[in-house]
Every structure is written in structure tokens, then in C-alpha cells.
Structure 1
Amino acid sequence: MESARIPFTERYHATQHGGIARAANSSVTCKTAAGRTATPCAAVQQGGAGANGHYRMAYIDVDSDARTANSSSATLRIPAGSRVSYARLYWGGSLRGSGQKAAKDNGRVLLAEPGGRYRQVRADTMTGHRPHSATEGFQASAEVTELVRNSGGGAYTVAQINMATGHSTAGVWGGWTLVAAYENKKQPLRRIALWDGFQSLGADRRELSVRLPGLRIPANSHGLAGVVAYDGDRGHGNDTLTVRAGQHRAHTVRDTANPANDVMNSTVTDLGRPTMRWPAYRNTLGFDSDVFDITPALRSGGDRLTFRFTTTRNPGYLLGALFVQTDTRR
């Protein structure tokens, strides 16, 4: 089943010694500029400003398998001695470029674990899909706990995401994120939560709040939050994210790679730093999968967290997943 909008709901939660890890990468990149004023493609890939609607886009394909049209890889970092308790793969792409892709293949993708061969993964949940829109796109996901538990950390490759190439004014985009919660007795006791949905922010909705209740966050705790989003453009500004613990003052989420007023800016980063992935284009042209430090919001503790996403742009972006780890107590 598909829906143009899926409310954000909790997918997984646990209280355990351990944490949450993720690997992610984009699956399309620029090929040539579609206008004379666009920044050269090579400069954009190195981190220059540029939006996907200004380029003719082409698949990324890093494997040596002639049967795959697109593929990219990234490293999932899981500490030694850990056991994966839950893992989920998200993937998404735009369906309109120089041509239009049929939506029937949105729920299928190929996944290869470290040193392994591709196996088909099918979405096990309702697929988000925005039909009849200039920014037509989708997100799908599937639980892959057993595969990741048996394979552990290392380089994962995702191929054959159903997405368009070429040029459209709205822009072509696509990418994937693998999220894994793990247990490790050497790490602090933490509350781990994964929420997902498919929500458009832009013309018809300027903000979205996601509330994580039932937490027991002590004062001076540490925490991380990860966000998966699509079709955010670098340099346009006016996209913000805040997090509030209990009734305390909201903290504006930002780091060296994600400005406070342009947080959905086509990056894949950990705490503002580049991640290990192939290729590692710094401007992913419409794909965001970032992990942020939310420790400043947790100084006074709290019993819940409220994340507030905003945009003043039209179109804005598509929000797909939110994952959080915070120190906690029994």
C-alpha cells in the first residue's frame, strides 16, 4: 500500500546499554549543469552550493555488477562486542526527471552486507508516495535485523533504488539510510527510539512536531538525534530543527556542516563531520541523513523530547525518519 502522507509514529524503542548507528549515502548525483548560471558539477560535488533542479542528474554506480543501474556504499560503525537488537533500511527517490519512473518498483531494493552478495529486500510497511506532484517521490523501508546482526559493522551497499535521472525543475534526488540499534554492556544505559513516516513540509505545511514521551533523562545527559529527509536544497535557507526537553527552552540544532537556518542542506554527516562512504560527495543534491549532538538540550533533563521541523520554502522537503539515543535511568 502507498500513501501521500504517513504520520510519524514510533517504529522501535528500547532501554539498554548500547546505542544507535547508521550508514547512508546518496544514489544520484549531478552530471552536467542545466543552465549557464549553475555552479560547475565538480565544484558542487566537493561541497559547493547548488540545488538538484539546476542539473541533469545521473545514477551513482560503484559496484562491478553490470545488472545494477545504481549503487552506493557506506560504512556502518558498530563497536566491538556489540549485539544488534534492531536494524531497518530506508530508501527513497524522485520518480520524475527527464522521464517518469513507474511506482510499482518502489518497494524493492538490493542490499549487500560487508563482503557479501546482493539480496533482494522488500518493503514491509506502507510506502510513502507523492503522486501527481512536480516533486513526486517516495520512501520505503524494511526490517533487516537478522542480516545486520549476523554481518556486523562494515561497508554495506544498496542498489537498484527505483528513481528517475535527467532533469526536472523540481529536481531529481535519491538515497538510502541503514539504522541499527545495538546492545553493548560497556556503554551507558540509554533510551533508543526510532520514529518514521512520510511528511511533506512546504506549501501545505510549514512545520511538524514529533514528540517522544515516557523518557527518564537525568540532568547533564548526553544524546544524539538522526534525521532522514529528501529534496532539501543547499543555500536556500529557512529550514530549521529544534529540540525541547520537557518544558525547558528549545535548543536549535546545528553544527559545522548544517547551519541553523539551512539544516536540510543535502549532507550526510556525523556531528558535522564527513562519513565513510563511496562516493563521498559533500553536496548530495537533495538527500539528507545527518546525526546531530543534542546534548545542550538535555542539561536540565526531562521526561520527553519534542522535535520541531520548520520550513518557509515552497517546495520544502520530505521528512522520512528520526532516531534518537539519550542517557536514561531505570
Structure 2
Amino acid sequence: MAFAGTPVTIQQSYAGKVNFLTVASSFRTSPDLFWPYATALPVPNSGCLVQAPGVPSSADLSLAVVDPAAPAVTGLPVGATVVAAHLYWAGSYTPLAQSATTTQATPDANVTFDGVPVSADRIFTESYSGGYYNWFGGYKDVTSIVAAKGNGIYTLNDLSVNTDATHCASSAVLSAWSLVVIYNDPAPTAPTRVINLFDGFTYYRSTQIILNPYNFVVPAAPINGKLAFVTWEGDVYNSGTFVFAENFAIKHPLGVWNNLSDVNNPLGNQFNSVSNDVNPASSTAYGVDSDVFDISPYLVAGDTTVSTAYSSGSDLVILAAEIFSTTNTPVANLSISKTHGADFNLGQPDSYSINVTNNGPDISAVTETITVTDTIPAGLTYNSVTGTGWACTFVTPTLTCTTSTALAVGATLPTITVNVTPTIAAVPSVTNTATVASTMFDHILTNNTSSDITVVRQPEVTVLKSAAGPSGPSDVMTYTVQVFNTGPTLITNVVNTDVLSNYTQFGLDCDGTGISVTFNDGAPVSGLSMGTPIYSSTVPPVLTPFVPTPTGGGITGCTNITGGFDAAIKAIQIPMIGTMNPGTNYSLQYKVQVK
């Protein structure tokens, strides 16, 4: 997937006894010069030079700073296991239509990481000056590669970028990469942390970008936070103030802005191609800043957000990632699943199953309340609910169930069974959605909702009507109505309605006293029996109590001597008793006399 000018947003969140490391490197062999804002004079246009094709760029994860407050400790601790590894790379490109001499006309989505060819999961692009300058970024999940290797020197190769005059004349050539590694901290005293990874690809020059990192709750103690960022195209010799100074700052919601800097990243020249995330700091990874800071002094118990500001004056900088880590209150990542069995049948009671699981890293205690909400959609009639340990209430259309049952990591609460009956509004399918929430902090909300698309089948009914006998004036005819259930489902509430011709009159009791309609079941049996016929004297039928009156008995064709025909009957309705099985049929017969 490709994204242009992408704002930095949250992509991943990790919780538990976790920590992170970052490293970065570049293919450029010297810093950029951008006249007239340069504060020193290196070799003109020297920033255009990149390593020869086939020569890898390297970074040593064992030098990565674990704690910026104590930078002497570096690399993955002994016994640490890698949870995730995120690879970012970036470069300059110029479309062929813009420059015939371009050395890279499109974003490079394919590189070689530590000897393994990889293709980007996501590609970003950004442009400046009306599209004259263009840069690209790539992202790849490389967890399997880093988890297998651990500490050591990692390399990137085969990154193609544009170095022709389009970028070179303005010292805007970019060719660099960064690695973010999340790992489980093996220390017995390691606290619970939440690490949130935000990324995107957006530039700032003569302006600032303000982020509001969130998705955490700072505990009362211990309070320990660190923040790292990855930016591209920052130049040590181009840090002039132009509307904004070149700084990075953090602010508590109730506090003031605090610039974060150090000897390697001085005030006014923050994005200077010097990365302090390794010890010793890297000053030769030209075009990338991968810096980490201790933010503990700026966090307060109960905080759920802070603000960060990236500002630059004359230097154009591209923000790629921000990694925010803090100790956190206990965390329970709850997930919910809503399922059903076979397809639903119209008019037949059925049920959904709702399950809630704790994916950790902490136990959900009895002091916490877990709430499941199920909004019953139109087309489903709520019948009842069951679930051991759940307290449930239903206020149309919302079912709410709560529990304070302790839930261990990896455990699932007792199933909630929601009983419903589908109506015609649910045909051909209906979507039922349930959500789960907790009073305990949950760092991943994408699995707190589950939607179940349910197919609702309706019966397929075929009706055939035929006539037998002569059809002249005063002749008696026999009508046969055959009903077939050819569908996959049962049929309930079967009612047969027949509007008679104006040229006939209905035969009453023609097949015996009280027998005006004869029911014949099919094979296999339908499962139905016939109810009492209802008669209407109007069309359309108004099925109100109506007492039919025969016109006389003993008419030829009416077997029962007391039977007769009633011209006032315009329609008949025959209700059926029971449920009609699929794949069955039945027939109804009655007599009429032609007028």
C-alpha cells in the first residue's frame, strides 16, 4: 500500500514487561550543504555521494541505548526475547517525466535486510515545492529475522535513490534506514510498560508538527518513561531559524513546553544527523536522526496523554516514527468473539455465543468490571440470555451483561448465549455486533468488537392450482391446490387464501356434513393438519365472522345431499396447524359451481 504525505498515527501497541531499542544508519558518505543557510562549509554538494551499489549500510544493535538516563547499558539484555522488529527506510526519487537523468524514478519498495530480500508492507511518499522534490519511505515487519539473530550488526542493501541534480543541487539526497526492536525484559523487577509505536511520513519546514501520544495510564509508581523518534533529511549545516527554531519539545497537559536536547542534539540544531540512541552516539548516519530521551520528569500519575512538538526553520525534515514508552497501570487486553452455528431459518429461534478472553499481560481482578454490550439489530427478535456469572439486562435494542469474575491471562469467561428469532427484515442476512469494555486499562481496542454476519434462510414455497370437471353453466368443478415446501427450512404459520372467480359459487359441505375443504397430506408427511376454514364476502378478503348460507341441497355434483353453494362467498382462508417440513407437500380440494 502507498500513502502520500501521511500524518503520524498509532500503528502498534505493546504491553507487559517490555522495552525497546532503536538503531539507524545511512548510505550517504558525508553531510549535506544547503546554501545560503549553511552554518559551515563542507565540500560543496558532498551530501550527494552515497555508498557504491552493493556496499551495505550497517548498524549495531548491541550498541543501542536501553535507558537514556543511564546510556552505558546497551543492547538486548541476556535472556531477552524479541517481540517485534520494525524496519524503516527512506530515499529521494524523481519521476522520469520530471528529469530524464533521474537515477530513481519511483519509490524503492524492495531492499535487502541482513542478507534477506524484503518487500515493503507499506510505502510512503512526500513532496515539496509543488512536487519538485520527492522522497519515499518504506516499512517492513522484520520480527522473524531479528528474533532469530538477537544482538549484532544488521545491514541494509540494495536501496536505490535519486542522486541527480534535482536533489543534489539542493543537497536533498536521502538514503537511510532505521530499526525499532521491541523485546520482553527478562529482569525479575521489570515493571509493566506500554509501548506505542506511531508512524507516518510527513515533512515540516518553517513550521511544527504537534503530536498527542496516548493509549497509556501512568501509574503512581514507578514512573519511568522514554521517547524515541525517527526523522529523515535533517542536516547539521542547515539549522537556521526561519519562523521556527529547530527543536524537539514535550509538554504535560497542565504544564509548559520543555525542549529536550543533549550534547549531541543541541538546542536549535536538533535534527542534525547525529543519533543518540547508540553509545557512542552516531554522527555519520547522514540524513537520519534516531534519538531517544528520558521523559520521566514530564509524566504524572494518572496521565493518559502528553504533547510533543517537532519544529524546524530552514531545514526540511520528515517525521517517520515516534516510539512512546511508559510504565503503566495493570493491563488486560480483552478480546471478544461473537459466533453462531448453522445458518438461521426465518421464524425459527436460534442463538449467538459471545466469548471474552484475557490476552494479558495481567490478570483481570475481581475488583474490575467487564461489560459486554450487544445491540440487537432490526430483523432479530430478542428472546432471552444465559451466562454463568453474568448479570444481564435488556432494554430494546441493547443487551448489557456485566461480571466481576477474576480472569487469568489466556482464560475465557463463561459463554453468553443470546437467544433470538429472525424476522423477514433479517433476510437474506443480518449483522450482529457485540463489544467488550473493562474498568481495567486495555491497550488494544481493535479486538474489543466482534461482528457476526448471519445468513437467514427463508422457505421456498411453490403453489399449483388446477381444476377438474366440466365448466359449463351450472356444472360443478373440483379445484385442487397443491403446496410444496422446496426450500431448506421449516415453514410456520401457513395460511392458504383463495379469492374465487366471480363466475363461480363455493360449495359448502359437498363432501359431507361440515366438510367443504378436503386436506390430503403428501409423502413424506408435511407435518401439518388443517384448521377451520374462514369465509369472506368481500374482495379483497375481510376475514371477519361470516355465516355462509347454501342456496339449496341435493345439487348434482355435490355428494352430500344437504350440501349446497353460496354465491355470497368471495374468498376462503384455510389456516394450517403445525410446522411444514422442508421437501414435503400437501393439497386442498373443494368444489364450486359455475354460474
TM class, shorter-length:
0.7 to 0.9
Corresponding residue of 2:102:
100
Paired amino acid for 2:125: G
Written as runs of structure 1 = structure 2, the 5 A alignment for 1:51-130 is 54-55=45-46, 57-60=48-51, 68-76=53-61, 77-95=75-93, 99-104=101-106, 106-112=108-114, 118-130=115-127
Deviation at 1:185, TM superposition (A): 3.8
1:283: how far off?
4.5
Residues 60 and 17 from structure 1, CA distance in 2 versus in 1: closer, same or farther, beyond 3 angstroms? same
Which residue matches 1:2?
Answer: 2
Change (3 A) 1:53 1:15: farther
CA shift, 1:295, in A, is 2.4
Residues 239 and 262 in structure 1, CA contact (< 8 A), matched pair in contact too: yes
Does residue 230 of structure 2 align to residue 232 of structure 1?
A: no
- The answer for the alignment partner of 2:589 in structure 1 is none
Aligned-residue Cα RMSD (Å) equals: 3.0
Matches within 5 A, 1:1-330: 1-30=1-30, 54-55=45-46, 57-60=48-51, 68-76=53-61, 77-95=75-93, 99-104=101-106, 106-112=108-114, 118-130=115-127, 133-165=131-163, 167-186=168-187, 187-202=190-205, 206-218=207-219, 221-235=223-237, 236-237=239-240, 238-270=245-277, 273-275=279-281, 282-298=283-299, 302-313=303-314, 316-330=316-330
CA contact (8 A) 1:245 1:301 kept: no
Deviation at 1:259, TM superposition (A): 1.3
The residue type equivalent to 2:49 in the other structure is A
The one-letter code sitting in structure 2 at the alignment partner of 1:200 is Y
Distance change in 2, residues 1:91/1:32 (3 Å): closer
Percent identity over the alignment?
26
1:289 Cα shift? 1.5
Deviations 1:22-58 (A, max 9, x none): 22111112399899xx89xxxxxxxxx5689742532
Query: Once the 2 structures are TM-superposed, how far is the Cα of residue 60 of structure 1 from its aligned partner?
Result: 2.8
CA drift at 1:176: 0.5
Indicate the SS of the match to 1:29: coil
Deviations 1:117-159 (A, max 9, x none): x111111124224386343211111111122112212110011
Letter of the 2:248 counterpart: L
Distance (whole Å) between structure 1 residues aligned to residue 309 and residue 235 of structure 2: 19
TM-score calculated relative to the size of structure 2: 0.46
Conserved 8 A contact 2:228-2:324: yes
CA gap 1:105/1:52 in 2 versus in 1, 3 angstroms: farther
Query: Which residue in the other structure is 1:42 paired with?
Result: none
Amino acid at match of 1:147: I
Task: Specify whether residues 119 and 257 from structure 1 end up closer, same or farther in structure 2 by C-alpha distance, changes over 3 A only.
Answer: same
- CA contact under 8 A between 1:215 and 1:303: conserved in structure 2? yes
Work out whether residues 16 and 191 of structure 1, in 8 Å CA contact, stay in contact via their aligned partners in 2.
yes
Higher relative contact order (CA 8 A, sep 6+): 1
Distance 1:311 1:34 in 2: 15
Indicate the SS of the match to 1:30: coil
Displacement of 1:296 in angstroms is 2.5
Q: Which runs of 5+ in 1 are unaligned?
A: 40-48, 62-67, 113-117
1:247 is displaced (CA, Å) by 2.5
How has the CA–CA distance of structure 1 residues 193 and 56 changed in structure 2, closer, same or farther, with 3 Å as cutoff? closer
- How far has the Cα of 1:74 moved from its partner? 0.9
Is the contact between residue 14 and residue 192 of structure 1 (CA under 8 Å) also seen in structure 2? yes
SS in 2 for 1:274: coil
- Residue matched to 2:349: none
Match of 1:74, SS? Answer: strand
Q: Distance in 1 between matches of 2:302 and 2:260?
A: 17
**Which stretches in structure 2 are left out of the alignment for 5+ residues?**
62-74, 331-595
> Computing the radius of gyration over CA atoms, which structure comes out larger, 1 or 2?
2
The residue type equivalent to 1:69 in the other structure is G
**2:228 is matched by which residue type in structure 1?**
G
Taking the aligned partners of 1:317 and 1:34, their CA distance within structure 2 comes to 13
- Amino acid in the other structure paired with 2:253: G
Relative to structure 1, the CA distance from residue 191 to residue 31 in structure 2 (aligned partners, 3 Å threshold; closer, same or farther) is closer
Contact 2:5 2:124 in 1 (8 A): no
Say which SS state the counterpart of residue 254 (structure 2) adopts: coil
Contact 1:98–1:164 under 8 Å retained in 2:
no
- TM-score normalised by L of structure 1: 0.80
- Whole-angstrom CA distance in 2 between matches of 1:51 and 1:319: 25
